[in-house]
Amino acid sequence: MSKLQYETSRHERLSYYTFFTGQNIIYMFVTIFLSMYYTSVLGLSAGAVGLIFLVARVWDAINDPMLSILIERSRFKGGKFKPWINAITWAVPLATVLIFAFGDQIAQLPMGVRIAYAGITYILWGMLYTISDAPAYAMGTVMTINKSERNTIYSYVRFGGFAGMIIAMVGAPMLVDKLGGRWMMSAIIMSVIAMVLMMTIRGVKERHVVDQAVPSLRQILVAVSGNKYLLLFLVSYVFIGGANFAFTLMPFIARDVFNDSALTSLLLFSIIGPAMLASPLVPISIKYVGKIATFAGATIILCVLSLITWLVGYQSLEIFIALNMLKAVALGVTLIMPNILIADCIEYNYKTCGQRLEAIAFATQTFSNKATTAVGGAVAMGYLALVGFVQSTGGVVIQQPQQVIDGMWDVLNLGHAIGAAIGLVIFLLGYKITDSLLANLNQSSISSEVRSSGTKNTLNSTSVIAK
């Protein structure tokens, strides 16, 4: 598409992408290191950590729709989404610091107090993250009405997100090590960097907010529950994304399987660094094979490579890294496509029901993202607890039994293959939105308007003749 057709400027798009760089620094810092922090600093058991993740997601199932309804029904002078994003750019970094604050002191408190503090701060962080995530993603639908431009924007949003992931994955372990395991100071530094990057979204403009009446709670619930393709996709994605246990387990894999915590950054980079290649590849793939085939093909590759990695085993670090890097490109595609597919679901809902409800739709994505993280974390930590994982306090390293090491490898690879395969089947059987379907709906809408206009003109003419 010619650049002259872009409604957005290059600076505006870059500002939008940079927000997600900052946001993903925080998201990945929490996602990757929370289980390690809970088990090795606070001394929580693997089972307790898994329970915290599940309780948080049960709360999210109640809380996220409430917050998204609040966002959807709000009307501010500054726009529909931007006021929420501007207000939250400082709150999420602060909540991140609270999660990792005063670890050594909290570790001396009774176990019940430790679990309560961990649960409350994590749930608070999740609530604030929803307020930052859903409106931010929804912004992409009101920046431009050009579908090709929107696909490009959402593809490169993930590029910005991948940059944030890499900063967290590579920089955070080095920072924690450099600071001698001072998690709170590490969280402060990472959060300040993230906040500065997130503030760039102030330069993004809302251009195409649909002027519609403030929807009632009943209208919102009916619209969302009636959007079967959105619901089916999100269910499939919980399996596909939730089976990606790498972000939770990789610090443990480095420390316990390969006996070197210093490998954490390298292993994490191997699973997300090459994923940046997916950003320019996704629009090309969509152009030639379509969105459904692009997402399904990447998921199939994930399943196959995960199975191969499991069969090869962990005797060779080099082979493991090489397979991770191949898998990372396919993983990148599955991380990019949800934004594009959900945007189509919003468009489908608008054509069929007359309601856009961007914040609601993207809040369901936020919930599914957090659900995949929690499912992955809960399943992984729950399984490790089942096979005998041994927790510690104060950062003391404990040699894990062989069955735990084998269990880590099984969950990381075989678990990923099985979960992604289940999600793929659900997706292929249920999701049917294509560009041609949306085009037909759009044409039907135009035809209906023309017929309606023609009918009104005929009635007016008849009225004039009668007079």
Per DSSP, what are the bridge partners of residue 79? 76
160, 20 in Cβ contact below 8 A? yes
Measured CA to CA, the distance from residue 133 to residue 416 in angstroms comes to: 26
The pair phi, psi for residue 109, each rounded to 5°, is -85, 165
For residue 213, name the pLDDT band (cuts at 50, 70, 90): low
Q: Is the pLDDT of residue 467 over 70?
A: no
27, 129 in Cβ contact below 8 A? yes
Mean of pLDDT over the chain:
84
pTM recorded for the entire structure: 0.71
DSSP assignment, residue 315?
S
Report the range of poorest mean pLDDT among 9-18, 96-105, 190-199, 381-390. 381-390
SS3 of 105-166: the string is: HHCCCCHHHHHHHHHHHHHHHHHHHHHHHHHHHHHHHHHCCCHHHHHHHHHHHHHHHHHHHH
In tens, the pLDDT along 6-27 reads 899 999 999 999 999 999 999 9
pLDDT for the residue numbered 420 = 95
pLDDT for the residue numbered 238 = 84
Q: Which residue has the tokens 């993250």?
A: 129
- Could you tell me how many helices (H) and strands (E) the chain has, helices first? 20, 0
In tens, the pLDDT along 317-370 reads 999 999 999 999 999 999 889 888 988 888 888 788 776 666 666 666 666 677
Instruction: Report which of residues 451 and 408 the model is more confident about.
Output: 408
50, 382 in Cβ contact below 8 A? yes
The stretch 431-440 carries a mean pLDDT of 88
The stretch 152-170 carries a mean pLDDT of 87
Question: Rounded to 10 degrees, what is the CA torsion of 145, 146, 147, 149?
Answer: -120
In tens, the pLDDT along 22-56 reads 999 999 899 888 988 999 899 999 889 989 988 88
The stretch 255-275 carries a mean pLDDT of 89
Question: Rounded to 10 degrees, what is the CA torsion of 208, 209, 213, 215?
Answer: 130
Instruction: Show the domains of the chain with their CATH numbers.
Output: 3-206+215-445 (1.20.1250.20)
pLDDT for the residue numbered 14 = 94
pLDDT for the residue numbered 203 = 87
What's the full length of the chain, in residues? Answer: 467
What lies within 8 Å, CB to CB, of 122 at 6+ separation is 34, 52, 56, 99
Measured CA to CA, the distance from residue 248 to residue 5 in angstroms comes to: 42
Measured CA to CA, the distance from residue 98 to residue 93 in angstroms comes to: 9
pLDDT for the residue numbered 5 = 77
377, 50 in Cβ contact below 8 A? yes
The stretch 129-151 carries a mean pLDDT of 84
pLDDT for the residue numbered 455 = 46
For residue 462, name the pLDDT band (cuts at 50, 70, 90): very low
The stretch 434-439 carries a mean pLDDT of 86
The stretch 377-396 carries a mean pLDDT of 78
Name the residue among 253, 272, 288, 378 with its Cα closest to residue 334: 272
Residue type, 379: V
Q: Which of 2-6, 157-161, 340-344, 429-433 has the highest mean pLDDT?
A: 429-433
